[in-house]
Amino acid sequence: MIIHHPILGPRDAQEFVYLGDASLIDRPDGMTAGIEEFHEYLYQRTNPAGEHRELWYHEQGDRSWLVVTRNTVTHEITKVELARDVARSRGRSK
């Protein structure tokens, strides 16, 4: 597969390490959230047949974590973003 890196352009997916559903960005706050919330966050998956937002790490590249929007049936990739930008846009901060 080829992932169009937002900074580096097309790169072979072999350079990346796959993590999974991009919802892993939305980690609850451990000081306020309990086991149920963390369970939902860490274990439950929508696992769609179709468009899937997922995390890839450019380990053999620039070490950017990316959020890749990819169709799990056709493997077509329609969007690639820097995970850092996505995280910020979702209001993650200290």
DSSP character at residue 50 = S
- Binding characters for another protein, 35-74, by CB under 8 A (x = yes): xx-xx--xxxxxxxx--x-xx-x-xxxxxxx----x-xxx
Least distance in Å: CB of 79 to another protein?
14
Cβ-based neighbours of 31, under 8 Å, separated by 6 or more:
none
Nearest to 26 by CA among 40, 6, 5: 40
C-alpha torsion sign, points 56, 58, 59, 62: negative
For binding to another protein (CB under 8 A), which residues are involved?
A: 1-2, 7-8, 12-15, 17-21, 24-25, 27-31, 33-36, 38-39, 42-49, 52, 54-55, 57, 59-65, 70, 72-77, 82-84, 87-88, 92-94
